[in-house]
Amino acid sequence: MLKPLTEREKKNIARNIIAACRDIEKLNGTGYRFIMNCSGFIAHYDINGFKDAYSEPGSLQRAIERNAKPNQWANFRPGEQNADYYHSKRDTYNMILGAFCAHQFMRDHFTIVHIAG
């Protein structure tokens, strides 16, 4: 039986992948293992190959958005074997997607003004 991700693990993974979407060099081993095991992603041999494949700005975010539906693990129902694990992966994936939506909303609706102190 697979152990579900803890809330802390989910947040740390999401935070790392969100950072890697802005700068792929920030992707760490934990974030890499999570994302390369999601539907629609391949390992590219190792973390360096993965970073190379997603080195174009915005490419990792686009891939995450494009692969959102199969990464909901909807075929696992509560109470089924490993459902809690796959639902924790879904929650993590959706945290990442949520950050993209929040950033886009902020860019679309607010002007950020920097005031020198």
Q: Please tell me the pTM assigned to this model.
A: 0.85
Residue 70 CA to residue 82 CA, distance in Å, equals 17
List the structure tokens of 105. Answer: 């909303």
* Model pLDDT for residues 53-96, shown as the tens digit of each residue: 999 999 999 999 999 999 999 999 999 999 999 999 999 999 99
Contact 95, 10 (CB under 8 A): yes
